[in-house]
Structure 1
Amino acid sequence: MFFQRFLLSIFFILIALCSQGQVIDTINSSPKDTISNIDVQKKEISEIEKKHSPLKASLYSAVVPGLGQIYNRQAWKVPVIYVAEGALLYLAVTNYNGAQKFKDEYLLRSNNIQAGRNPNYSNYPDESIYNLYYAYEKNFELSIVAGALVYILNIVDAMVYAHLFDFDISPNLSMNLTPYYLPSVLSPNSGPSLGFSMRFNLK
């Protein structure tokens, strides 16, 4: 009897030690597993970032307009960017030259200097010369501002589409439009109802 109790005591002690060892192993292994999971997640994130980076796209378009669009595989936007910038550059140069021309003419008239005046503007009053100078100067400034906006939009466009580059667009949304017939139940005096029902299905 005593021997049986002794064996049972040893048996329960061994079970307790084994369970304690399992708990210790679990405690010791949990941080490692957590760290390994974090490392895997970081690796996946880094792989995604290496795959397509919005920062790279923005820097490319900042250094060379249109290069970020090529990086985003949207090369068709490059001619649009350069046509817009080229047109605005042409307007800026044209308006700058016109502003300088009428500015020089106005300064010569203001200082009563006859030499150097343009004979084509001899019939123009001083006020008209100044108004033409002001109009060309204003258009020149607007051309510069518009060119800067196109440059900034080029960078923003590259960054936005780089963010959406890995976005999965699949036809999972469908819409069904079907007519329905609803007989009158609440009031016997009213007629049946006709209409259409719209149903959205997510696959």
Structure 2
Amino acid sequence: MNYKILGFIFFVLIAFNGYGQKKDKDKKEKAKDSIVTDLNTGSFIKSKRPYNPLAPSKAAFYSAIVPGLGQIYNHSYWKLPIIYGGMGAAGYFYVTNNKYYHNYRDAFKRRQAGYTDDPYYDLNGDGEGPDVTDSSLENGQDYYQSNRDLSLLIFIGIYALNIIDANVDAHLKQFNINKDLTLQPYLEETDFYSTPDMGVSLTFHF
């Protein structure tokens, strides 16, 4: 038995198997995705579900109320550590920089008022000061203020990205091409040699 006949039998079996798997599905069945096996490829695919136009808005609204709630709605649980980790780190640096900003600002104000009792005046306790000059206090105040403001911007940015991600992810999760993309074998006779040729057709439906 030559290889062409074996190939022909192989394609016939695939075609028979593929056509045997075609079933009419009711579009009103349950909204959740169910996992089915594509016997043509042996891979797992999600069955098509009705499109919900309000899902992206709901996901964005949930994430706006509680960061990460939209990701839970989309079943993207792996994103929660990223969201809370980023917001937590930004919040921590905001609080820390804000604390040092106020310490340097208060010390600088007391220096300008003529006092020498701030924590930075005599750091080493030798009775001689100031150990930190007025200009250093002013520079430190500006430095921590800039870092504090940057931390706040990062926190707000992650919060906004959390909302955008929930909205976009809800859109993308509703795309399903399992019925709009088909891969089927075919057998046809060539006009030139009058011999059967085997091939595979890939079809898109828009």
- Fold conserved between structures, TM > 0.5: yes
Give the TM-score category using the shorter length.
0.5 to 0.7
- Return the match for 2:173 from 161, 165, 173: 165
**Shift in Å, 1:169:** 5.2
Q: Distance in 2 between matches of 1:69 and 1:91?
A: 25
2:52 aligned residue: 49
User: Would you say the 8 A contact 1:108–1:117 is kept in 2?
Assistant: no
1:134 aligned residue: 142
- Return the match for 1:112 from 110, 114, 135: 114
Kindly provide the amino acid, as one letter, of the partner of residue 58 in structure 2.
K
- Return the match for 1:79 from 78, 81, 102: 81
Kindly provide the amino acid, as one letter, of the partner of residue 81 in structure 1.
I
Evaluate the alpha carbon distance shift between residue 77 and residue 98 of structure 1 in structure 2; reply closer, same or farther with a 3 A threshold. Answer: same
Equivalenced residue count is: 130
**Shift in Å, 1:132:** 0.5
User: Would you say the 8 A contact 1:57–1:67 is kept in 2?
Assistant: yes
Kindly provide the amino acid, as one letter, of the partner of residue 117 in structure 2.
A
Q: Distance in 1 between matches of 2:182 and 2:87?
A: 39
Residues 45-99 of structure 1, C-alpha deviations (whole Å, 9 max, x = no match) = xx6327x610100011001100101111100001110000010000000000000
Residues 123-170 of structure 1, C-alpha deviations (whole Å, 9 max, x = no match) = 121111100110000100010011000000000000001011111256
- Gapped regions of structure 1 (runs ≥ 5): 1-46, 175-200
Kindly provide the amino acid, as one letter, of the partner of residue 137 in structure 1.
Q
Pairing 1:90–2:92 present:
yes
**Shift in Å, 1:115:** 3.3
SS at match of 2:123: helix
| Larger Rg, first or second structure (1 or 2) | 1
**1:154-193 superposed matches below 5 A:** 154-168=162-176
Evaluate the alpha carbon distance shift between residue 68 and residue 113 of structure 1 in structure 2; reply closer, same or farther with a 3 A threshold. Answer: same
Over the matched positions of the two proteins, sequence identity in percent amounts to: 37
SS at match of 2:146: helix
The 4+ residue runs of structure 1 with deviation greater than 6 A are: none
**Shift in Å, 1:116:** 4.0
Kindly provide the amino acid, as one letter, of the partner of residue 148 in structure 1.
I
Evaluate the alpha carbon distance shift between residue 110 and residue 169 of structure 1 in structure 2; reply closer, same or farther with a 3 A threshold. Answer: farther
Evaluate the alpha carbon distance shift between residue 161 and residue 128 of structure 1 in structure 2; reply closer, same or farther with a 3 A threshold. Answer: same
TM-score normalised over the length of structure 1 = 0.58
- Gapped regions of structure 2 (runs ≥ 5): 1-49, 125-129, 184-200
Kindly provide the amino acid, as one letter, of the partner of residue 49 in structure 1.
N
Residues 157-203 of structure 1, C-alpha deviations (whole Å, 9 max, x = no match) = 000010111112569599xxxxxxxxxxxxxxxxxxxxxxxxxx844
Evaluate the alpha carbon distance shift between residue 169 and residue 66 of structure 1 in structure 2; reply closer, same or farther with a 3 A threshold. Answer: farther
